Structure 1
Amino acid sequence: MQALQNNKLILSIFLVLTGVVYWIYSQGFTGAFYFDDFRPLGNLQQVHDFQTGLQYITNETSGPLGRPVAMLSFLLNVGDWPDYPQNFFRINTIIHLLNGLIIYFLSLKLFKLVKPQSKYQALFALFTSFFWLVLPLNVSTSLIAVQRMASLSATFVFSGVLAYLYALDYQAQHLKRGQWVVYVVIAIFSLLAMFTKENGMLLPLFLFVAEITLFKHQTEYQHGRKLRLVVLGGCYFIILAYLGSLLPHIANAYVDRPYTFIERISTEPQILLDYLRLLFIPDIFSYNPFHDNYPTNSSLFATFYSSLSAVFWLALVILAVVFRHKFTVFSFAILWFLTAHILESTIVPLELYYEHRNYVATFAVCFCVVYLVTTIHGKKSQIFMATLLSGYLVILAGCCYLVTKTWGNQHYAAYAWQYNQKGSMRATEHLALKLLADGNKPDALMFVKENTKNCPDCLNSYVQQMVIACSMNLNSSVQSARQYLLQYNRPLRSVAGLPSTLSSLFDMVENKQCKLVDLQTLKQLNQKFLQSPKGGINTGNHVGLHNNLYMIAVAEKNISEQERQINQMWMLSHAPWLANLKLEWLLQQHQYDNAIYFVQKDLCTLAENSTSPLEQSCLQAPNKIKRAMMNGKN
């Protein structure tokens, strides 16, 4: 009874601490939207009723599964884009606190397994959950609006592990029915997690890690364990096999990245060590949204740090596997942490560095640290270590406050991040946009020019220089950037953001806001990047550049060039907006037979035979053609 009362007291303390954590995170509610937010969240403006809401949920392209659960959650913010980012952050923070509560009960359950004789299991769970909640490394997951995808997926992962433990308890009492419950739990929570974000499919892998470490000596969990190991281990094998299946085509997968496959796998061990360092040793300005300037390694042993990282992780994996029966919690933490990174931090050609990839990974590390403190012998030593850990968590909470306070001050954060992330095109662009919004063009130009020196391959910074300098009528800055771009002869591996910036420059030229650039220059620049050596830019950028050339052709009233560019875009992508553009253009040119042929043989055929969101365009096309033909006769 006394233990039960203590547990209730500690849970009450934890709930009070969640209020503190909410207040800490609320300092960042005045933050901004960032580059990854705009495409998936911008479509919220198109949601007006049930049908458009359903389209919003089902038409997302961030991942192969569409992430419909995450997109459904964003409907809570209909009406908030783009003016009220605080409402996104508020919901994200509530999800973060919910995850902390789940981790409290999950940690309590695990401590009952690994410390069955202790009277302080709830206290250990309190330390673990609060540790995880105030990690500055986790801040970006809640204060970048779109990363709700990551935190909500984590909700189902943590809930799935907790439900799995209770299902095992149920199985111990009801052997036949209980075994079905175990597998139903795995299936339901895995599906929920992966349809929120694809790395939710790692849930069975986390359960496998727990089975071969923490659950090995739990007698009450032995019934059906061999089958569970086969099923969960099979899931692990499937993921590894999937990664292996990418290898034969890996060279093509990396053509639109500014690094090679070898550079990625040589750099990721170092990045994982950076994550671990930032987990324990806060560096206030290192927690930010912009890491596109992270330097790559040409090999695993290119530098001392990269060599150390490779050896460090290899040694930890060997130790964790070999001694998983003796040092179960240590092995659990290492294998859980690395399993959490198995998709996003290995060979899949994603961006190199993102802090939110640690959101699930850090749980096991926090659990392990608290567990190690509980193994200290001697009452005085235990009190000392508990005091030391408490002090550390207070410091960590203070650092978390400084991080969220920085994120909440948009201009201060923009300056700090640009200084800390020299050579980051995104950090520079973010700061430049803030300065331009304030009418401070000279400083915006200064920072963009500085970035061209720090990052000579950041071509978008040169176009931004042309945009700003042209608006200030500074011919020398415009022409120096133009000359550099036209003479650039290295293989283009990435031109992220460049098509849209060139589009902005076109708008300025068309609106007579830029007299130092003409349409011929814009045409040369867009064609230059389309004809880059090795063609190392992805389909999305190709479409953007062709669309710029189409708009130039419209301005020049060049009908044949308009048709050529539209056809080029349609060959590259069958996006609904392109289908509508091509149909509208055919109707404007009174090519009614071609329009009918396009709808019947191309558009509607694609809508029937694929999962692409072209159905609406197909259904609306006949009425558009009919109206255009009637107007043409009149």
Structure 2
Amino acid sequence: MELDTTANMLGLRSDTMRSARWVFAGALLGTVFAYWIGLHGPYVLDDINNLTPIAEWLHGDNTWQHVVLSNGAGMFGRSLSMATLMLSAWVAGFTPFAFKLVILFRHLLCGFAGWQMLRLAIVRDPHLRRHADIAAALLAALWLLHPLNLSTVLYAVQRMAQMSALFTLAALWAYFLLRTALQQGHTRRAACGLFVLFPMFLLAGLLSKENAAVAPALCLVFELAYFRQPRDEHQPAVAKRILAIFYGGFLLVPTILAAAVFALRPNRFLGGYAVRDFTLPERLLSEGRAVMDYVGALLLPRGRAMGVFNDDFAVSTGLMSPPSTAIAVFALVAISALAIALRKRAPSVFAGWFFFLVAHSIESSVLPLELYFEHRNYLPAFGLLLAVAGMAEFLTRRIEPGAMPRWKLGVLAAGGYALALGVATHARAFVWADEGRFLHQEAVHHPGSVRANTALAYYEIRQGNVILARAAIDGLLQSPNPRVRELAYLHRVLSDCVVSGDATANDLHQAIALARPKVTLDEMYVFADLASINDQRACNGASPATLADTIVAMLAVAHSQPDGILPKWKLRNTAAQLYAAAGDWNLAMAQAELAWQPSADAPVGAFLVRTYVQNGMREKAERTFDEVARRVNRNDFKDRNGLIELRQFLDRAAADQTD
């Protein structure tokens, strides 16, 4: 009833609403059918790392405060997302199906919120408003069924991106309703909504993932596209003041504050480049290619070539390296100029295109994130679909109607495309339902991806297919990228240690020869796995001392990074533990001291305390213990118990020394 009232208030045709509802209901059912087979698929990428604290909480090994408030994800902690993940695990169990079923349901909610937002946008386009209901329903159907969204729906921890999108869509839906009320003179209702309801949605989005910060800027895009028309120039002064306060409080002031923090403490935003294989200018150039690649994937999905292992995405080192960089930059500028030129004649083109760009502005600009991920299109895709609808109408505007009206042809075309997208999504979900199928397809279509090929290799090892595993890793040695070859040698050592306990020391020498001026998270993880394997069994050719020496040699090459970055102090700590396992406590202490950086966590200091005790430095051990106690996370059971155990270890050592 409320939707019908809103429709009538805005001039929507109620006779088409029923058809639109049937279209959307069909899209919901098609989406469930397309995705259902994939709900039983495995965890993906960093799912386990992010969900492990929840498993610990379920078993009573951690506190809910630590899981929700101390997860360290993003600037605002993403506490709301973590809380809903905890709720899913508590109600339905800690299984991939439980997490993915909830995400599928929320995907349907996002589709509904997007449908309502698009309805209210399209009705303000004078060229599309007559069929706004059905057009919005079809666009929402295309979004729901699009295979590019699958890597958000079937990737458990991407609930964070999904929830951020949901609350952003709700905020935009509310903005349209409240802005319309303001335009119609209902200033009190509009003001209450803009300064109470909108910030509630915004805050919920920010606590889900930082991407929701774009919501006020997206409102401005819609304001410029649909509301800044000649009929709005004489709006009451009170309405102008409300809008000025809204945009000043939610867009201008936060932008100024963020710019000030960026200027005063740039490392807070850009420090992550210390562990990346690209610089800020290279990322900006690369993101031009990435965004245009997203456009292509949204308009014409590439089927099997789509995936989540995108660490092989090439870095743009200049406008002509690769040449597609210049083409992408030119295309972005040209499309943006066209959208601006068409703002009055085809406002949905302007609104949709700049919605797409603004929604990408956090993850596809200056922040030192990885270059390419499909799930970054979850919210922006709504904008691109809106722009395509506006452009299709604009290009066919002068075509004389034939036996069938233009809008009916558009409905048939969109319906057929939605059906094709649903089939593609179902086929992709079928692949994701089985870990072997999933990893084989990813490795075939991403031959330069270290993650895809090593994940496949370790999967094949678990299946007993050692030859296939070796082939996956050896294929990486053909890469022209030195970093890829370096990691391939390290993973070959790891796989040999796992399979036979007999590695080739020359592989470690080759890795040292290929060491780069920067170490990354990839080296950190593979050496951590090598150290873990050595705890379980001896590995010829990769003894603890040999591995520690390899780490030290590679860190000596990494002279362009400060010692306080995460991969460096983590690697130092791993080297210290390996030297300790080899019985050399002097070298262990030297590496542990280098690892004990201001940014290091409490377990690093705890191990340094043990090295001091082993080397008879009681006073230093006590001083370091006090530092560890100050860094312990009191909400983390492991940290608290570790501190108690460390105190007991020190007391026993003191008692033994007295005896």
| Between 11-20 and 340-349, the greater mean CA deviation after superposition | 11-20
Of the structure 1 ranges 370-379 and 242-251, higher mean CA displacement relative to structure 2 is found in 242-251
Which residue of the partner structure matches residue 368 of structure 1?
Answer: 387
Is contact 1:592-1:629 (8 Å) kept? no
Equivalent in the alignment of 2:124: 113
Instruction: Give, in whole Å, the separation in 1 of the partners of 2:261 and 2:440.
Output: 39
**Does the Cα contact within 8 Å between 1:418 and 1:428 map onto a contact in 2?**
yes
Which whole-Å CA distance do the structure 2 matches of 1:520 and 1:627 have between them?
Answer: 25
Q: Is the deviation greater in 588-597 or in 20-29?
A: 588-597
1:188 aligned residue (163, 176, 200): 200
SS in 2 for 1:214: helix
- Structure 1 position 105, deviation (Å): 1.4
The within-5 A match list for 1:179-328 is 179-217=191-229, 219=231, 222=235, 223-224=239-240, 225-231=243-249, 234=252, 237-238=255-256, 241=259, 245=263, 253-328=272-347
Report the alpha carbon displacement of residue 590 of structure 1 after superposing the two structures with TM: 9.1
Task: Render the CA deviation track for 1:58-95: whole Å, top value 9, x for unaligned.
Answer: 01112122111111111024369997212221111111
Task: Provide the residue aligned with 2:586 in structure 1.
Answer: 560
Would the aligned equivalents of 2:606 and 2:646 in 1 still touch at CA under 8 Å? Answer: no
| Deviation by residue 1:394-450 (Cα, 9 ceiling, x = unmatched) | 112211222222222321221111111111101111111210110112211111011
Distance 1:100 1:624, change over 3 A: same
Deviates more, 1:221-230 or 1:282-291: 221-230
Q: What RMSD over aligned residues (CA atoms) do the two structures have, in Å? A: 3.5
Which letter maps to 1:569?
Answer: A
**Range moving further from structure 2, 618-627 or 323-332:** 618-627
By how many angstroms is 1:334 displaced?
1.5
How far has the Cα of 1:134 moved from its partner? 1.3
Determine if contact 2:78/2:207 at 8 Å carries over to the other structure. Answer: yes
Give the distance between the partners of 1:147 and 1:239, measured in 2 at CA. Answer: 28
Which of the residues 89, 97, 100 maps onto 2:111? 100
1:483 paired to 2:509 = yes
Q: CA deviation at 1:503?
A: 3.2
Rounded Cα–Cα distance in structure 2 between residues aligned with 1:257 and 1:575: 21
Distance (whole Å) between structure 1 residues aligned to residue 536 and residue 645 of structure 2: 34
> Structure 1 regions of 5+ residues with no counterpart?
none
Query: Counterpart of 2:492?
Result: 465
- Preserved contact between residue 61 and residue 637 of structure 2 (Cα < 8 Å): no
Shift of 1:110: 1.8
How much has 1:9 moved relative to structure 2?
5.0
Q: CA deviation at 1:326?
A: 3.4
Q: Separation in 1 of the partners of 2:153 and 2:23?
A: 23
2:73 is the counterpart of 1:62? yes
Distance (Å, rounded) in 1 between the aligned partners of 2:219 and 2:436: 43
User: Secondary structure of the residue that 1:422 maps to in structure 2?
Assistant: coil
CA deviations on 1:495-545 (whole Å, 9 max, x unpaired) are 333233223333444544522332332122111122124244872222331
| Cα distance in 1 for residues equivalent to 2:513 and 2:141 | 55
Which deviates further from its counterpart, 240-249 or 111-120?
240-249
Contact 1:603 1:618 in 2 (8 A): no
Match for residue 144 of structure 1?
155
Q: Select which of 395, 404, 422 maps to 1:397.
A: 422
Give how far 1:560 is off. Answer: 3.4
| Alpha-carbon contact 1:596-1:625 (below 8 Å) kept | no
- Identity %, equivalent residues: 19
Counterpart position of 2:651 = 629
Equivalent of 1:154, from 158, 161, 165? 165
Query: How many Å separate the matches in 2 of 1:632 and 1:187?
Result: 57
* Preserved contact between residue 272 and residue 368 of structure 2 (Cα < 8 Å): yes
- Aligned partner of 1:577: which letter? P
Deviation at 1:358, TM superposition (A): 1.0
- Return the alpha-carbon distance in structure 2 between the equivalents of residues 560 and 322 of structure 1: 70
Residue type of the alignment partner of 1:549? A
Q: Quote the offset at 1:140 in angstroms.
A: 0.8
TM superposition score normalised by structure 1:
0.89
- Structure 2 counterpart SS, 1:453: coil
Q: Which AA in structure 2 matches 1:241?
A: A
Aligned residue pairs, count: 628
**Contact 2:164/2:208 (CA < 8 Å) preserved in 1?**
yes
The 3 A distance-change label for structure 1 pair 140 and 612 is: farther
Deviations 1:22-54 (A, max 9, x none): 121122223222332232212112214697112
Change (3 A) 1:251 1:17: closer
- TM-score relative to the length of structure 2: 0.86
Separation (CA, whole Å) in 2 of partners of 1:315 and 1:236: 30
Residues 518 and 558, structure 2, Cα contact 8 Å, conserved in 1: no
Deviation digits for residues 152-173 of structure 1, max 9, x if unmatched? Answer: 1001100000111222244445
Seen in structure 2, the aligned counterparts of structure 1 residues 513 and 28 have a Cα distance that, compared at 3 Å, is: farther
- Alpha-carbon separation, structure 2, partners of 1:167 and 1:586: 65
Per the TM alignment, residue 471 of structure 1 is displaced from its structure 2 partner at its CA by 4.6
What is the alpha-carbon distance in structure 2 between the residues aligned to residue 518 and residue 627 of structure 1?
Answer: 27
Q: Distance in 2 between matches of 1:403 and 1:282?
A: 11
Of residues 239-248 and 86-95 in structure 1, the stretch that sits farther from structure 2 once superposed is 239-248
Determine helix, strand or coil for the equivalent of 1:114: coil
2:462 to 424, 428, 437: 437
Structure 2: distance between partners of 1:420 and 1:494 = 26
The 8 Å contact of residues 576 and 591 in structure 2, kept in 1 or not, is answered as yes
Distance 2:264 2:344 in 1: 33
The reply to whether residue 10 of structure 1 matches residue 28 of structure 2 is no
Given that residues 27 and 145 in structure 2 are in contact (C-alpha distance below 8 angstroms), is that contact kept between their aligned partners in structure 1?
no
**Does the Cα contact within 8 Å between 2:92 and 2:98 map onto a contact in 1?**
no
2:137 corresponds to = 126
5+ long unaligned stretches in structure 2: none
Q: Does 1:43 align with 2:20?
A: no
Q: Distance in 2 between matches of 1:527 and 1:587?
A: 23
Change (3 A) 1:297 1:243: farther
